[in-house]
């Protein structure tokens, strides 16, 4: 297990984060999904967060973050905010399909002792929901 340190704190925090487009619309298509991954990597790098795994399904964005120095809800808010603004600027068709890109809610869970295989299976099963 890799540990990070921040002056006087040593830590290893891993989170499973899920959020959805408004009304579960299928908007992560036609290059928007690839651009979303780029934006998430940019924001994560700015806030010293590591992305272990990220996957976009047609109606869900799922990410596994590791070793976040700031509070998780702040990082998720930044991820959703910047990605919504930039994607709607770069893909004008998103503006006509949705009043806002993301729902206000998200799911965050600590990975803890859950085996990586179980998390990967959960991510794959999200495609069928």
Alpha-carbon gap, residue 13 to 4, rounded angstroms: 9
At 88 the pLDDT is 92
Does any domain span residue 127? no
At 68 the pLDDT is 65
At 19 the pLDDT is 85
Provide the domain limits for residue 54: 4-122
- Give, rounded to a whole angstrom, the gap between the first and last alpha carbons of the chain: 32
Residue segments in the chain with a per-residue pLDDT below the cut of 70: 1-2, 56-70, 112-116, 119-120, 122-123, 126-129
Alpha-carbon gap, residue 39 to 34, rounded angstroms: 9
Token pair belonging to 109? 């869970």
Alpha-carbon gap, residue 52 to 63, rounded angstroms: 8
User: Facing residues of 111 across strands?
Assistant: none
Question: In sequence order, what are the residues at sequence separation of 6 or more whose Cβ sits closer than 8 angstroms to the Cβ of residue 13?
Answer: 66, 67, 68, 110
Pairing of strands 50-56, 14-19: unpaired
Does any domain span residue 63? yes
Does any domain span residue 128? no
Phi first, then psi: give them for residue 68, nearest 5 degrees: -100, 130
At 69 the pLDDT is 58
- Assign residue 12 the CATH number of its domain: 3.30.70.1290
At 61 the pLDDT is 65
Does any domain span residue 12? yes
At 114 the pLDDT is 63
At 107 the pLDDT is 82
Alpha-carbon gap, residue 47 to 129, rounded angstroms: 31
Does any domain span residue 104? yes
Q: What is the pLDDT of residues 56-66, one digit of tens each?
A: 666 666 666 66
Q: Are the CB atoms for 98 and 21 separated by under 8 Å?
A: yes
Does any domain span residue 34? yes
At 64 the pLDDT is 66
| Total count of domains within the chain | 1
């Amino acid at each position: 297990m890799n540990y990070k340190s921040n002056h006087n704190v040593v830590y290893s925090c891993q989170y499973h984060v899920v959020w959805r487009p408004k009304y579960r619309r299928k908007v992560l298509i036609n290059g928007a999904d690839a651009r979303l991954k780029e934006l998430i990597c940019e924001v994560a790098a700015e806030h010293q967060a590591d992305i272990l795994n990220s996957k976009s399904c047609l109606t869900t964005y799922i990410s596994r973050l590791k070793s976040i120095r700031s509070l998780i809800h702040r990082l998720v808010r930044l991820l959703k905010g910047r990605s919504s603004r930039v994607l709607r600027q770069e893909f004008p068709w998103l503006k006509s399909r949705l009043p806002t890109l993301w729902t206000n809610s998200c799911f965050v869970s600590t990975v803890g002792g859950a085996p990586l295989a179980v998390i990967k299976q959960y991510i794959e099963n999200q495609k069928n929901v």
